[in-house]
Amino acid sequence: MNQQELESYLISVRRHLHQYPELSNQEFETTKSIEKWLKELAIPIRNTDLNTGVFADIKGGKQGPIVAIRADIDALPIEEKTGLPYASKIKGVMHACGHDFHTAALIGAAYLLKENLSQLNGSVRLIFQPAEELGGGAKHVIEDGQLDGVKAIIGLHNKPELPVGTIGIKEGPLMAAVDRFQIVLYGKGSHAALPQNGNDPIVAAGQLITALQTIVSRNVSPLQNAVVSVTKIIGGSTWNVIPGEVSLEGTVRTFNPIIREEIKTKFYTIVNAIAAAFSQEVEINWFPGPPALVNHKSITEIVETAARQQSLEVIQPEPSTAGEDFSYYLLNIPGTFAFFGTNGNEDWHHPEFTVDESALLQAAYFLYESARELLNQHSIS
């Protein structure tokens, strides 16, 4: 295929995926499609014990290390409202984070790698990862042995606010650690006109929401980045009854592991103290998610060189407080993750989210050139 044919092919791949999105750990048809496309390229597929996801090795013409390229394949429980002719055909499910773009880009990189085997000083492992949106898919991939023997890993994520032709590459922290919390306040219900006969959990919840905001504003250095957000409150059933309980949920985002633990400690202190002050029993559930995504210096420098050779405009991106379980790979081996400009109209997880498909061929070449450049660096460690 020439470049125009390859671009048309990748757009068709992406649009097929976009029409048939699947939720985390349910990517069965997506897995079958990826396997079919790789088999058409005569790329051997690796064995796996995972129910979804595809892994494959492309062995170059020369001996050398193994490097990996990763794309995520799952979608979100969002009803699409783009009005596109190739919009999701699955009710309530949408590729609202662009994982279809990532997957198609990796298929394109696989084609380019296969066409240029003689130039590869080693092997490239393709990782089509399931369940990124749940924050644990990468851990299962590692446990499945798909990182075995790999010396370095690269990945990318579309970035709607960046124009096509621009890439954000940065060593160090790029995306935040993610924690989720649930709180249930158990008070005593009463008639709304007789609050003295109960222990009002709604008033306690209001105080709690306000106090939790002081964790960042008064306990975290202004030079550090952190977010504490209460995003869900459930309590009460009618206008004239004080309920017996209120539940709250939310998230904490951090970049520094020390700050992450300090926030958790302070969180528990505040919740327990306010519950006691308002005569509430309290239940706290804390769900730790992926750690902060921290790019490795030497790999980032190599990938930046590859991007500049491709004539992409390289910028220093602002870190994102969104999470990304690619960070688990970086706890095990060196690697880097980049933001790829797609000139979108809405940000991730929006029902009208789109990407500019003219960035797709660029993304495929970026992954291909980066992998090839990594293989040329025999000092990968």
How much is the pLDDT for 50?
Answer: 98
63 vs 94: CA distance, rounded Å? 41
CB contact set of 147 (below 8 Å; sequence gap of 6+): 68, 141, 153, 329, 332, 333
CA distances from 184 to 196, 205, 221, 265 (A): 21, 9, 29, 18
Q: Tell me: is residue 350 an annotated ligand-binding position.
A: no
Q: Tell me: is residue 157 an annotated ligand-binding position.
A: yes
Which residues is 180 bridged to in the sheet?
251, 287
Is CATH 3.30.1330.40 the classification given to domain 3-174+292-376?
no
Choose among 156, 197, 153, 194: nearest CA to 175.
156
Choose among 119, 125, 118: nearest CA to 144.
125
**CATH for the stretch 177-288:** 3.30.70.360
Which residues is 313 bridged to in the sheet?
166
345 vs 348: CA distance, rounded Å? 10
How much is the pLDDT for 307?
Answer: 97
CB contact set of 115 (below 8 Å; sequence gap of 6+): none
CB contact set of 183 (below 8 Å; sequence gap of 6+): 208, 247, 248, 249, 271, 282, 283, 284, 285
Domain boundaries, the chain: 3-174+292-376, 177-288
Q: What is the pLDDT of residues 93-140, one digit of tens each?
A: 999 999 999 999 999 999 999 999 999 999 999 999 999 999 999 999
Residue 179 DSSP label: E
CA dihedral 270, 276, 278, 281 (to 10 degrees): 100
286 with 264: CB under 8 angstroms? Answer: yes
Kind of pairing between the strands at 66-72 and 150-159: parallel
How much is the pLDDT for 223?
Answer: 84
DSSP assignment of 326-351: THHHHHHS-EEEEEEE---SS-TT-T
Q: Tell me: is residue 102 an annotated ligand-binding position.
A: no
How much is the pLDDT for 379?
Answer: 56
313 vs 31: CA distance, rounded Å? 33
Kind of pairing between the strands at 335-341 and 241-242: unpaired
90 vs 21: CA distance, rounded Å? 7
43 vs 39: CA distance, rounded Å? 6
Three-state secondary structure call for residue 317:
coil
DSSP assignment of 253-296: EES-HHHHHHHHHHHHHHHHHHHHHTT-EEEEEEEE----EEE-
Three-state secondary structure call for residue 49:
coil
Residue 188 DSSP label: B
Which parts of the chain sit beneath pLDDT 70? 378-381
106 vs 59: CA distance, rounded Å? 16
How much is the pLDDT for 377?
Answer: 86
Give the angle subtended at the CA of 72 by the CAs of 69 and 78, to the nearest 5°: 160
212 vs 157: CA distance, rounded Å? 31
Q: Tell me: is residue 369 an annotated ligand-binding position.
A: no
Q: Tell me: is residue 249 an annotated ligand-binding position.
A: no
